[in-house]
Amino acid sequence: MELAVKDVSVAASYGVLFAFISVFTRQVTDAGVAAFQVVFIQEGGALLMALGLVLWAKTDLRPASWRVLGLLVLQGVGKYVAFGCVVFAITFLPPANVSAINKSTLPLFVAIGACIFLRLKPSVAACIGGTFCTTGVVLVAIGSWKNIGTSRGNSAPITGNLGTSRDISAPISGNISTSRDNSEPIIGVSLAILSALIESLLNVQVRILLRDCPIVMVLFYTFAVSFAIGTVPMLIMRPQWSMDVHITTLLVLCAGLYAVTSFIYVKAAKTVPPVTQVVLSQLELGVTFLLQFAFLRFVPNVFEIGGASVIAVGGLVDTVYIVRVDSRNRKKLNFRKQLGFNVDSDNAKSHTVDWKDRLREGNRQK
């Protein structure tokens, strides 16, 4: 049971940490930092982390075949595009809105991809949890869509000029449609959905890569490719790098958190089922609401609070199922040991058993 709790906790921590990245990213873009600069810095931080892991583990970076190399390169390209879409979407919409729209489509996309490419059907608990989470995200989207880009009717207006050159000293007020014809919210929503589609494909592909490659190798190639791509707009646009200490600190912090979450994401893909990983990542939404209220002064309404609560219930349902399946497996091994069977090798494997084995064993016992 301890191993299952650890795996679930690792997968859930991804969403919690990524919420900080979303809110801090909005802060630095509001201060005038271009979105592609943010992507470049964060991808660079992740690459440094991956390079450090390669040197520490002395990993052989030679791919097993040209096919594996092609998949690794494709993973890097997809990672840059998916994360870039999220960052650009955050410049158009509040972070929690981007999270809501992005996460509402992820469970469906990932479940379809897992069935087609991995031949893996999601468990009943994963379907129930995913339904709860999707319902919660829809509630959040309903409650927050009408407030996009407005002052939300409270004494803490949104500051900065969304989608344009940032000026924190000039707060935005009024209805967004009077000045921008809702074009920027539409762009933000489209980018969030596109990011979800690409991320779902990457979630399936990284599981295929982990069959032939160690985690460190996948991380290194992914961020080496994405960082190389990120240098292109930097060379073309030649942005300014004059930033104060506060913004520089936030950028460095975002880069460090992005590196950690990237490792957690690939690590969770090794131990947790696809739909479960996505369901647990939706905890990001509730944390984002809290953080954007604290740092950006966006006040959630009743729909948004209710939706975040439903998402928490959905994540709990799937978490309990994973822990119970792992507990059943361990009880079975202990029973076989009491009967005199040699289960030392089984116990050794139980510490590295993957998510497919757990689900299959749980379904057989049911």
What is the residue extent of each domain of the chain? 2-315
Distance separating alpha carbons of residues 349 and 60, to the nearest angstrom: 24
Q: Phi-psi bin for 307: left (phi > 0), alpha (psi -120 to 50), beta?
A: alpha
Residues 91/35, Cβ–Cβ less than 8 Å: yes
Q: In which residue ranges of the chain is pLDDT below 50?
A: 149-180, 345-355, 358-359, 361, 366
Alpha helical stretches, state H, 31-93: 35-57, 66-92
How many C-beta atoms surround the C-beta of residue 53 within 10 A?
A: 18
Distance separating alpha carbons of residues 80 and 82, to the nearest angstrom: 6
Tell me, what's the pLDDT at 343?
52
Residues 311/303, Cβ–Cβ less than 8 Å: no
Tell me, what's the pLDDT at 223?
92
Tell me, what's the pLDDT at 333?
67
Q: Which of 74, 11, 23, 12 is nearest to 298 (CA)?
A: 23
Tell me, what's the pLDDT at 153?
39
Q: The whole model's pTM is what? A: 0.69
212: DSSP letter:
T
Q: Is the alpha carbon torsion for 112, 113, 115, 116 positive or negative? A: positive
Tell me, what's the pLDDT at 225?
95
Tell me, what's the pLDDT at 357?
52
Q: Which of 188, 153, 187, 189 is nearest to 173 (CA)?
A: 153
| For the chain, percent of residues with pLDDT exceeding 70 | 66
Give me 306's structure tokens: 């209710």
pLDDT, tens only, 107-148: 667 767 767 776 767 667 667 777 777 777 777 767 656 555
DSSP codes joined into one string, 305-341? HHHHHHHHHHHHHHHHHHHHHHHHHHHHHHHHHHTT-
Q: Which helix (H) or strand (E) holds 137?
A: helix 124-145
16: Cα separation from own chain's centroid: 9
* Beta-carbon contacts of residue 124 (< 8 Å; ≥ 6 apart): none
Distance separating alpha carbons of residues 137 and 148, to the nearest angstrom: 16
Give me 225's structure tokens: 């490719």
Residues 59/151, Cβ–Cβ less than 8 Å: no
Strand positions, DSSP E, 108-261? none
pLDDT, tens only, 49-87: 999 999 998 888 898 899 999 999 999 999 999 999 999
Tell me, what's the pLDDT at 57?
87
The letter for the amino acid at 37 is Q
Give me 72's structure tokens: 């690794």
Q: Which helix (H) or strand (E) holds 110?
A: helix 95-117
Residues 299/307, Cβ–Cβ less than 8 Å: no
Start-to-end C-alpha separation, the chain: 18
Give me 73's structure tokens: 């390169």
Distance separating alpha carbons of residues 347 and 330, to the nearest angstrom: 8
Distance separating alpha carbons of residues 328 and 360, to the nearest angstrom: 12
Q: Which residue has the tokens 């490419």?
A: 117
Tell me, what's the pLDDT at 158?
37
